[in-house]
Structure 1
Amino acid sequence: MPVNKQLALPVAAMVVVVVVSNIMVQYPINDWLTYGALTYPVAFFVTDLTNRAFGPAQARRVVRWGFFCAVVLSAWVATPRIAFASGSAFLVAQLLDVFVFNRLRKESWWKAPLASSVIGSAIDTTLFFSLAFAGSGLPWLTWAYGDFAVKIGMALLMLAPYGGIVRRRFAGV
């Protein structure tokens, strides 16, 4: 089923975020962090805004389309192993994010995006780094710990723009 006009922007944003993150995760900042940790948390932001605006069914639709497009592009611009690891981790983590967010959506405005992003990031980080780098000789465990810590920080930082957007655009949704 094709993406309707209202979901085109979230799908495009998701694809850009994931592909850029898959390129950037290949470049470590140091022994405990990659550049991908700075960009990937935006995927949860996109999912949560989509869920808030259009509901869980449409958010899952954005995740599925984002998954498909990002895996194809990532295999071309990154490596097949990164694309497989990213796609697997992304699909599981983002669908879990949709579920957790939806369960908490009637709580305080900040609980759903923060809890779903933290839980989704934990699953994503564990799956991605173990599939992408295990056995490579690279310091993937320390990268995973560092990336997860940054993802939590980014989830906290993104609460401000999330709250602002929700108050301005999605009041009553």
Structure 2
Amino acid sequence: MKATLPGVLAMAAIVVASNILVQFLVGDWLTWGAFTYPFAFLVTDVMNRVYGVQAARRVVFAGFVVGVICSLIGTQIEGEFGPYVTLRIALASGAAFLTAQLMDVAIFNRLRAGVWWKAPLASTIVGASLDTAIFFSVAFASQLAFLDPGTDVAWANEQIPLLGFGPAVPLWVSLACADWCVKFALSLVALPPFKAIVTQLSPKLA
């Protein structure tokens, strides 16, 4: 447990930072949280590579608990249009995080014996794709309004051109596409830090 403490602290910091930064927009489709959250996959992959599957899962569950606490706090903070965190957003956030991170752990473990970059890249891309799909659909899709009938998500279902220039789709689809693009780009950016951190912690595994 002591060996995984840095991973737990790093995951907690990323989750807390992302929950705060998601309130601040970057352009029309993103928030600053989109640029911090993907590094949760880096933490999970480093822990998996250096300390193994069980250690990585402990870090994931610690991050999930921190995320739940952040969501509970968010439900008590009132913004211009109601609480910062609605029931749908809380459900979406928790389900997306846990499913995506555990999938990342499983895929990484399956591919760990291959070339060094394959496991972190494949696991992060699949996990990030799951995370985006689950979060945005559960939080905003009109088809899932029964999850929280009291929350109005009509704004997220307004039909607009995809990312401002494509075919007409609900706004939340553009938000999801932009979010996924950032996650994909950062999955590539994170490869050198992954290699460097693993080399520092356990040179034999690098």
Say which is worse superposed, 121-130 or 31-40, in terms of deviation.
Answer: 31-40
Question: Runs of at least 4 residues of structure 1 off by over 6 A?
Answer: none
3-state SS of paired residue (1:61): helix
- Measure the CA separation in 2 of the matches of 1:69 and 1:152: 24
Larger Rg: 2
The residue type paired with residue 103 of structure 1 is R
- Measure the CA separation in 1 of the matches of 2:130 and 2:55: 22
Say which is worse superposed, 124-133 or 25-34, in terms of deviation.
Answer: 25-34
The residue type paired with residue 79 of structure 1 is V
Provide Cα deviations, 1:98-153, integer angstroms capped at 9, x if missing partner. Answer: 00001111111111111110000000001111122334213321111001001111
Say which is worse superposed, 91-100 or 6-15, in terms of deviation.
Answer: 6-15
2:80 alignment counterpart: none
* Number of matched pairs: 170
| TM-score, normalised relative to structure 2 | 0.77
- Measure the CA separation in 2 of the matches of 1:7 and 1:80: 32
Q: Higher helix proportion, which one?
A: 1
| TM-score, normalised relative to structure 1 | 0.90
2:103–2:123 CA contact under 8 A, matched in 1: yes
Which of 183, 190, 194 matches 1:151? 183
1:14/1:159 Cα in 2 relative to 1: closer, same or farther (>3 Å)? same
Gaps spanning 5+ residues in structure 2: where?
Answer: 75-83, 143-152, 157-170
What fraction of aligned residue pairs are identical, expressed as a percent? 48
- Establish whether residue 132 from structure 1 lines up as the match of residue 139 from structure 2: yes
Gaps spanning 5+ residues in structure 1: where?
Answer: none
- Establish whether residue 59 from structure 1 lines up as the match of residue 56 from structure 2: yes
The residue type paired with residue 196 of structure 2 is G
Q: CA RMSD of the aligned region, Å?
A: 1.6
The residue type paired with residue 40 of structure 2 is A
The residue type paired with residue 164 of structure 1 is A
Which of 94, 98, 119 matches 1:91? 98
3-state SS of paired residue (1:74): helix
Say which is worse superposed, 137-146 or 19-28, in terms of deviation.
Answer: 19-28
